[in-house]
Amino acid sequence: MKRVLVLSDSASVQDLNNRSNLNLLLEMNCEIHVGCNFVLGNTTSADRVEAFINELKGAGIKCLHINFSAGEDSFVKQERASDELEKLLDKYEYDLIHCLGFSCLKCVGAFARRHHIPVICTTYGLPIYNGVSILKKMLLLPKLKKTAKYAESLICCNCEDYEFSKNNFSTRCIFRIPGIGLDPYRFRAPTVSRIEMRDFMEIPQNAVTLVSVGALTKKKNHAVILKAIARLRMLEIHYVICGGGDNTDALYRLTSKLNIEDRVHFTKHRDDIVNMLHACDIFCMPSKDEGIGIAALEAMEAGLPLVTSNVHGINDFMEDGVTGFCFKPNDISGFVSGIEALTEDKKLRKQIGEHNRHAVEAFYRGNAEYVMKQIYKVQLADDNSKKKKHGQKKENDDKNDNVNKSKVKKKNNKENETVTV
């Protein structure tokens, strides 16, 4: 049985982005170890993390707590995790390591090479993208290039990362998959009616309602939507924000400052996103950068039009005027115009929503799973070949050592005989 270690800096990354890959490895009869930080850095609730741990254990997957740090500097600050991974590779023999992000690859790459373990890495969004500052690019590019050398295969989830990787990294194989793979039809049928959900959230039944789903961090840029709503006081618009994060208090303060508290609804983490989406009318994703934009794809599956920024992974599925409207992240006036156009035209919302339900099929799970299954098969087969080759080399080295020792012994014996005579 093959033993595979799957690493991520947080449990929520595994839960939200990697479940289909874990299922693939289970189908391939692999012993799976999941290594991540189960306590800090998660964008899902503590209850959800606990439920995820129980699901992993129920499937026979070993959970290993690794003290990865979280935050924007996590790529360069992982000394504690590196020490723990070095000990882990000394303890277990792995046939393959799958890193979910460059921060994990940086931590484990050198140790994996020392143990002759092949490593593959999936990137959900590189820290260098169109629009990033020149200074940040200059600082990170050498580190990314050095880290990428540890991976035998690099899997990119958006076109921009794929093109960048091909042009800048020396990784042997670079693949692109259509996002992380969306569950077909999962978000098409709510379990609670639109009327009930709106009553629960205290939103008027006839109000046009915007919704955003994801971590409440600065890079998610929720502030631009709040400012846009403040400019549209004449329209009955409400805004639902699902998620939690370190920018929550700042968003509360901004909502109060703009005097729109009665129209903004913070719901924290929720496990019934399908019901939230079907209770709303327009999905907003104004992120400053976004690797895959899975929440927007889920909204497309639910039949919602989009209002987004025009950055990074969002560009893979966003077509201005077709799937919705997109603008530069800080273009408040642009977001005002997009929200206003969709708010005032119910027919347009319906037309775009129906289009999105068909357009999102290109990002269904089966398309990504097909590529990943081939990668796993090849890497695990290569691992056999490499181990055999490495074992043969070791055996040949041992034979050569024995031959050399024999020659030395004979020579010594001959010298001893000569001396004796």
CATH classification at residue 245: 3.40.50.2000
Contacts of 89 (CB under 8 A, 6+ apart): 108, 111, 112, 114, 115, 117
Domain shared by 213 and 351, yes or no: yes
User: Does one domain contain both 44 and 58?
Assistant: yes
- Residue 246 resides in a domain: yes
Q: Do 298 and 371 reside in the same domain of the chain?
A: no
223 belongs to a structural domain = yes
Q: What pTM, to 2 d.p., does this model score?
A: 0.84
Alpha-carbon distance values, 49 to 52, 55, 101, 255, 319 (Å): 5, 10, 19, 29, 35
Reported as a single tens digit per residue, the pLDDT across 45-99 is: 889 999 999 999 999 999 999 999 876 555 667 888 999 999 999 999 999 999 9
Examine residue 421 and state whether it is found in any structural domain, yes or no.
no
Would you say residue 403 lies in a domain?
Answer: no
Residue 132 CA to residue 190 CA, distance in Å, equals 38
> For 239-248, 265-274, 381-390, 391-400, which range has the lowest pLDDT when averaged over its residues?
391-400
Domain count, the chain: 2
Residues 82 and 175 grouped into a single domain: yes
Same domain, 126 and 168: yes
- Same domain flag for 38 and 19: yes
| Average pLDDT estimate for 218-246 | 95
At residue 86, the pLDDT reads 96
**Segments forming the whole domain that contains residue 153:** 3-181+365-395
Lowest-pLDDT choice from 41-55, 283-297, 397-411: 397-411
Strand, helix or coil for residue 82:
helix
Q: Is 114 exposed, middle or buried (0-12, 13-18, 19+ CB in 10 A)?
A: exposed
Which pLDDT does position 421 carry in this prediction? 19
How far is the first Cα of the chain from the last one, in angstroms, to the nearest whole number?
Answer: 60
Task: Show which of 343, 363, 383 is a domain's final residue.
Answer: 363
CB 68 within 8 A of CB 41: yes
- Do 168 and 226 belong to one domain? no
Residue 242 lies in a domain: yes
d(CA 24, CA 26): 5
253 lies in the same domain as 385? no
In a domain, 414, yes or no: no
Residues 291, 312, single domain; the answer is yes
> Residues 153-207: pLDDT tens digits?
999 999 999 999 999 999 999 999 998 889 888 899 999 999 999 999 999 999 9
Q: Do 130 and 92 share a structural domain? A: yes
- Same domain membership, residue 208 and residue 106: no
Assigned domain for 413 exists? no
Q: Say how far apart CA 199 and CA 205 lie, in whole Å.
A: 8
d(CA 127, CA 165): 12
| 209 and 348 fall within a common domain | yes
Helical (H) or strand (E) element with 219:
none
Tokens of 34: 């999941």
Q: Do the domain assignments include residue 189?
A: no
